[in-house]
Amino acid sequence: MKDEAKRPLEDLVKSIIGNFAGKEKLTEEEIRAAWSLVVGERAAKHSRPRSFAQSRLIVHVDDSGWLYELTTRKKHILNNLSSELKGKKLKEITFRIGDLR
């Protein structure tokens, strides 16, 4: 009988911990949607978020012109992305020329 009463409590604790852990992680869909909204449709066609780790977003761009353009707007983009992602930890953006596929 003790095991049966303990089981729902264990499930509840695991669920709560899972919910807290999930709030810190960003999904690819969240990042892409926020990226398009913040940089605009035109810039989003020439850039793509590639990875997010340790509060750093790596973004690939298709040529040096867009690398320059987005780098000059980096602070603005970072502030707006942080707002759009509702407080999830984003401290740095790194732009690189790379494949958008």
* Across 9-18, 43-52, 56-65, 86-95, least confident range: 9-18
- The pLDDT value recorded for residue 100 is 92
- Which residue from 31, 49, 41, 96 is spatially nearest to 68, judged by alpha carbons? 96
Structural domains of the chain, ranges and CATH numbers in brackets? 27-97 (3.30.300.180)
Confidence grade of residue 86 (pLDDT, cut at 50, 70, 90): confident
Span 39-85, pLDDT tens digits: 999 999 999 999 988 889 999 999 999 999 999 999 999 999 989 98
Total-model pTM: 0.73
Report the first-to-last Cα separation within the chain, whole angstroms: 55
Per the CB < 8 A criterion, the answer to whether 76 and 38 are in contact is: no
